[in-house]
Structure 1
């Protein structure tokens, strides 16, 4: 399939596909006329990349998942390198949660001091 069809089927732009190629995550074959050619396995790679980006992974984070798929595994997370990326990402998210909870506690304390009679609801709404 050509780049336009892959983009349409994967729900991405052709520009994104060219960028993935530039980053070494996608390898296009060239037809005799110079057009990029892709197959179903490329669609699977792009789908994997997009699903990872959607939940906050970077393109560099996606690399082990892509390599795992290229190695013939049914899933991009079947390899130890991919599992390690999951571990690292979860640790990053846990750190962000701790930071946000500490920040929330500080803001809630300032709010309680500024408005002693005000009730603080979950979600931060005032009553």
Structure 2
């Protein structure tokens, strides 16, 4: 598939796909006229790259992790890195859950104040 179709199917910009190629996270074949062509599996790979970026991994870490994720190839060092990234994400999830809990408390208190006629004013 061509770059525009991959961008549409994966829900990313063409610019993002070019960046992924520059970072060696994604590969394409070139037609005689120079157009990029991607395998159908590129859609899932782009979605994975997006998830890893959203989880806070930099492109260098994603590049190191992709062979394990895509091909199942893993060294003990890579498994340690994967475990460390998972632990970091778990901490991030805990922090987000805590922040959500605090927001829930603020919302509950503000709703109760509105019902009793009190107002929460910014400081």
TM-score by length of 2: 0.62
Write the distance in 2 (CA, Å) between the matches of 1:13 and 1:2.
13
**1:30–1:36 Cα contact (<8 Å) kept:** yes
- Relative to structure 1, the CA distance from residue 60 to residue 123 in structure 2 (aligned partners, 3 Å threshold; closer, same or farther) is farther
Is 2:13 aligned against 1:30? no
Q: How far, CA to CA, are the matches of 2:106 and 2:65 in structure 1?
A: 36
C-alpha distance in structure 2 between counterparts of 1:43 and 1:11, whole Å: 9
Indicate the residue corresponding to 1:67 in structure 2: 67
Kindly report the root-mean-square deviation, in angstroms, between the aligned alpha carbons of the 2 structures: 3.1
Count of residue pairs the alignment pairs up: 101
**Cα pair 1:61 1:85 within 8 Å, conserved:** no
Indicate yes or no: 2:100 matched with 1:123: no
Higher relative contact order (CA 8 A, sep 6+): 2
- Judge conservation of contact 1:48–1:66 (CA < 8 Å) in 2: no
Q: Given the two structures, how large is their TM-score scaled by the length of structure 1?
A: 0.61
The answer as to whether partners of 2:55 and 2:89 remain within 8 angstroms in 1 is no
> Using the alignment, how far apart are the partners of 2:42 and 2:67 within structure 1?
12
The answer for the alignment partner of 1:9 in structure 2 is: 9
Q: Distance in 2 between matches of 1:83 and 1:32?
A: 43
Q: Which runs of 5+ in 1 are unaligned?
A: 74-78, 105-120
In the aligned structure 1, how far is the partner of 2:29 from the partner of 2:6?
13
Matched residue SS, 2:25:
coil
Which whole-Å CA distance do the structure 1 matches of 2:61 and 2:90 have between them?
Answer: 12
Specify whether residues 12 and 87 from structure 1 end up closer, same or farther in structure 2 by C-alpha distance, changes over 3 A only. Answer: same
Deviation of 1:47 after TM superposition, in Å, equals 1.2
Contact 1:45–1:69 at 8 Å: present in 2 too? no
Q: Is the 8 A contact 1:2 1:36 kept in 2?
A: yes
